[in-house]
Amino acid sequence: MDDIAILGVGMHPWGKWGRNFVEYGVKAARDALTDAEVGWDEVQFVSGANSVRCGYPGYVSGSTFANALGFTGCQLSSSYAACASGATALSIARAQILAGVCDVALVVGAETTPKGFFAPNAGERHEDPDWLRFHLVGATNPTYFALYARRRMELYGDTPEDFAAVKVKNSRHGVFNPNARYTKEYDVDDIANSPMVADPLRLLEICATSDGGAALVVSSLEWAASRGVTDPVRVSGISTVSPTYPNSVIELPYLASDSWAAVGDETMTFKDNIAGRAYEEASVSPEDLDFAEVYDLSSAYELDWYEHIGLCERGDAAKLLRAGDTALGGRIPVNPSGGLGAFGEAVPAQAIAQVCELVWQLRGEAGHRQVEGAKVGLSINHGMFGHGSSVICTI
Amino acid sequence: MAAVEGLFTLDADEPHLVGGRARSRGSYFFPKALAGSDPACLGDEIDEVLLSRTGRLWSFTTGEYAPPAPYVIPGEEFEPYVIAAVRLEEENLVVLGQVVSGVSVDELSVGMEMELAIDVLYSDDEHDYLVWKWAPAGRRENGEA
């Protein structure tokens, strides 16, 4: 797969600002255009990542953001893929660029979130698994994160202290990130003293819901070169694959896993599949990574990713953590941005924000959270209903 | 009455979840209406089947805070509950459910045998609305059913 260039990145800081999501997206987009030294009137394609929590404008995000920036007659697209929405919007921009349909595109996502648990849409829908799991079981998102955490404890001997150590590590990284919502450094006692939400996970270990916005300006390598940008950060691989049947893990928002009675076995999981396509497209392997941004929906969930992206064998993630390998200054820093633990989740913006961090790291512009000499970075996330994504950037 | 019809039987002694089974492929699904995801089942007939009513505990957790609607809080005040994911051995399918009241997480461990129970999810002036729950094998008497 040919690469495209990332010319500019921008974010609106994460928080619980309670303002119109469009404002966050516009701020991020303007910063990305300034960073890229590209005029809004030069953008030929806007690829929006949708929000399902912000009314009709959220469902037509490409148009919403283009309208707010000023309609210029550029082409529009609006994507929804749960937590993978931002990477899906990027993949569509890449396809347009590589097909020669456009030279330069803006990718943007933003969201305003309500307080508390994410909840299903109103109404009574007996064939909607998202409705059924709340109504019949009271299974919230942290329910699923906690089931995975408990599996780690039972199968691999991970401890609640290991999970807390993930949050401590990411909080230390987040201190240095001006776009993070939480910039307090936590210690293990803070976490142990926070309320239990879904045993064994405590409040400080579960991703909050946040407001935020993020944007990228991307182009063909030729167009970048025509602007004198000869060594940009490149998008070298994007994965937006579906699970491969059977997925033995109960995924949000389902009441049951796939059955492996007829084919497959209990080791098959979706999270193992997601990175593969990105590695393949980028022609890199886990050993080539200098750092990774992974979706730490909970503290324990980050450990799952170490194994699923191939940093270690299954069951060995806590060893990497305990050895300090995944902290800044370690062998393979994970979530140098502070991750979701420091940000909370602004769904359509989050996968784009992950790519912003890849770019700042690869340019050497990450300040006190810089991974020295970083050349290859991977981001990965996992959403509901079998959506997930991974992006590999290189320089 | 069932909180949602068609997902489980109301036989108080031997309740079953009602699932689907692909006739020629043999894959199982729960609920039947969500059958899919197995590409080999495209075009296969999905038969309605009663799923095994026992299995092994795959994982478990608690709900310490009241979930949003459409969860209905039974009674006056929210009470935390335990949730289990149980692997049905014949079907190789892991199914979620609340655990019957009176069982704490300290009594649970991955791999232990669990069985299906029917219990009250919530009530109004006219009906008790029933749902399946999981119980440690032989411990169904702790449920209200």
pLDDT in tens, A288-334: 999 999 999 999 999 999 999 999 999 999 999 999 999 999 999 99
- CA A139-A181-A83 angle, to 5 degrees, is 45
Whole-number pLDDT of residue A177? 98
Q: Which amino acid is at A353?
A: A
CB pairs under 8 A between A and B: 158
Q: Report CA-CA distances (Å) from A220 to A8, A242, A311, A329.
A: 13, 27, 31, 34
Does this complex have an ipTM over 0.90?
A: yes
C-alpha to C-alpha distance for A384 and A390, rounded to whole angstroms: 15
Contact state of B98 with A137 under an 8 Å Cβ cutoff = yes
Contact state of A136 with B81 under an 8 Å Cβ cutoff = no
Whole-number pLDDT of residue B35? 74
Interface test with A, best of B56, B65, B78, B129 (most A CBs within 10 A): B65
Q: SS3 sequence, A71-83?
A: CCCCEEEEECECE
Q: Report CA-CA distances (Å) from B57 to A142, A260, A359, B14.
A: 19, 17, 43, 19
Whole-number pLDDT of residue B12? 82
DSSP A175: T
Interface test with B, best of A117, A125, A130, A136 (most B CBs within 10 A): A136
Dihedral sign computed on CA atoms, order B18, B22, B28, B33: negative
pLDDT (tens digit, 9 = 90+) per residue, B60-103? Answer: 999 999 999 999 999 889 999 999 999 998 999 999 999 999 99
Tell me the nearest-neighbour CA distance from B89 into chain A, angstroms: 9
Phi, then psi, of A272 in degrees rounded to 5: -70, -25
**Do the beta carbons of residue B108 and residue B83 sit within 8 Å?**
no
**Do the beta carbons of residue A348 and residue A85 sit within 8 Å?**
yes
B1 touches chain A (CB under 8 A): no
C-alpha to C-alpha distance for B137 and B145, rounded to whole angstroms: 15
Q: What's the pTM value of the predicted model, to 2 decimals? A: 0.95
**How far from chain centre, in Å, is Cα B131?**
7
SS3 (DSSP) at A373: coil
pLDDT beneath 70: ranges in chain A: none
Pairing mode of beta strands A45-49, A75-79: parallel
pLDDT (tens digit, 9 = 90+) per residue, A356-384? Answer: 999 999 999 999 999 999 999 999 999 88
SS3 (DSSP) at A311: coil
Restricting to B residues 9-38, those with a Cβ less than 8 Å away from any Cβ of A are 22, 25-31, 33-34, 37-38
Tell me the nearest-neighbour CA distance from A360 into chain B, angstroms: 38
How many other C-beta atoms are found inside a 10 Å radius of the C-beta of residue B12?
A: 11
C-alpha to C-alpha distance for A369 and A262, rounded to whole angstroms: 48
Restricting to B residues 121-140, those with a Cβ less than 8 Å away from any Cβ of A are 121, 131
Packed helices A270-282 and A299-308: angle between N→C axes, nearest 10 degrees: 50
DSSP A241: P
Give A248's contacts (C-beta < 8 A, 6+ positions apart). Answer: A257, A258, A260, A264, A265, A266, A267, A268, A269, B92, B94
Residue B144 has pLDDT above 90, yes or no: no
With CA atoms as reference, report the closest residue to A83 among A264, A337, A226, A271: A271
- And the tokens for A341? 């633990």
The mean pLDDT of chain A is 96
Q: Report CA-CA distances (Å) from A289 to A4, A362, A380, B137.
A: 19, 12, 13, 47
Contacts of B131 in chain A (CB under 8 A): 136-137
